[in-house]
Structure 1
Amino acid sequence: MDWPVSVALAQSVPELPTGADWSYEMKLDGHRMIMWRTDDGVRLQARSGRDVTAAWGDLALDGHHLQAGTVLDGEAVITTEDGRISFEAAQARAASSPTRAHRLAAQRPAHYIAFDTLQLPSGNVRPRPYNERRPALLNLLTGLPANTPIQAVSATTDRDTALTWYNTLHHQGIEGIVSKRTTSPYRAGRTGAWLKIRHADTIDATVAGFTGTARHPKALAVRLPDGRIALSQRLTTALATRIAPRLVPQSGRAHTQDGDAYTPVSGEVVVEVVAGATRHAVVTVVRLR
Structure 2
Amino acid sequence: MKLPVMPPVSPMLAKSVPTIPPDASYEPKWDGFRSICFRDGDEVELGSRNERPLTRYFPELVTAIKTELPQRCVIDGEIIIATDHGLDFEALQQRIHPADSRVRMLAQQTPASFVAFDLLALGDEDYTRRPFTERRAALVATLADSGPSVHVTPATTDPTTARRWFEEFEGAGLDGVVAKPLTLTYQPDKRVMFKIKHQRTADCVIAGYRVHKSSAEAIGSLLLGLYTDHGSLASVGVIGAFPMAKRRQLFSEMQSLVTSFDGHPWNWAAHEAGDRTPRKNEISRWNAGKDLSFVPLRPERVVEVRYDHMEGERFRHTAQFNRWRPDRDPRSCTYAQLEKPLSFGLGDIIPGLTKEGES
TM-score (norm 2): 0.59
Match of 1:24 in 2: 26
Q: Secondary structure at the match of 2:287?
A: helix
Matches within 5 A, 1:42-61: 42-61=44-63
Separation in 2, partners of 1:238, 1:64? 36
Q: Quick one: structure 1 residues 122 and 246, their matched pair in 2 at CA, closer, same or farther if it must change by over 3 Å?
A: farther
Separation in 1, partners of 2:38, 2:279? 30
- AA of the residue aligned to 1:72: I
Match of 1:62 in 2: 64
Root mean square deviation, CA, Å: 3.2
Match of 1:118 in 2: 120
Segment drifting more, 59-68 vs 3-12: 59-68
Out of 77, 92, 101, the position equivalent to 1:74 is 77
Separation in 1, partners of 2:278, 2:103? 20
Separation in 2, partners of 1:96, 1:177? 33
Given the alignment of the two structures, is residue 240 of structure 1 paired with residue 283 of structure 2, yes or no? yes
- AA of the residue aligned to 1:60: V
CA deviations on 1:190-229 (whole Å, 9 max, x unpaired) are 343x10011259xxxxx9539xxxxxxxx89996364454
Given the alignment of the two structures, is residue 12 of structure 1 paired with residue 16 of structure 2, yes or no? yes
Contact 1:91 1:239 in 2 (8 A): no
Identical-residue share of aligned pairs (%)? 32
Offset at residue 142 of structure 1 (A): 1.6
Separation in 2, partners of 1:70, 1:247? 37
CA deviations on 1:238-265 (whole Å, 9 max, x unpaired) are 87241433649xxxxxx9xxxxxxxxxx
Q: Quick one: structure 1 residues 236 and 133, their matched pair in 2 at CA, closer, same or farther if it must change by over 3 Å?
A: farther
Aligned length: 240
Match of 2:141 in 1: 139
Offset at residue 166 of structure 1 (A): 0.7
Separation in 2, partners of 1:104, 1:10? 31
- AA of the residue aligned to 2:73: T
Contact 1:208 1:222 in 2 (8 A): no
Offset at residue 69 of structure 1 (A): 2.5
Match of 1:269 in 2: none
Matches within 5 A, 1:133-282: 133-144=135-146, 147-192=147-192, 194-200=193-199, 208-209=212-213, 224=241, 226-227=243-244, 228-229=246-247, 240-245=283-288, 247=290, 274=317, 276-279=319-322
Contact 1:69 1:123 in 2 (8 A): no
Given the alignment of the two structures, is residue 86 of structure 1 paired with residue 88 of structure 2, yes or no? yes
CA deviations on 1:6-40 (whole Å, 9 max, x unpaired) are 21000000010013xx0100011111111110244
**Structure 1 unmatched ranges of 5 or more:** 202-206, 211-218, 249-254, 256-272, 282-289
- AA of the residue aligned to 1:278: F
CA deviations on 1:256-276 (whole Å, 9 max, x unpaired) are xxxxxxxxxxxxxxxxx8465
Separation in 1, partners of 2:166, 2:100? 35
- AA of the residue aligned to 1:224: A
The structure with the greater share of residues assigned to strand is 1
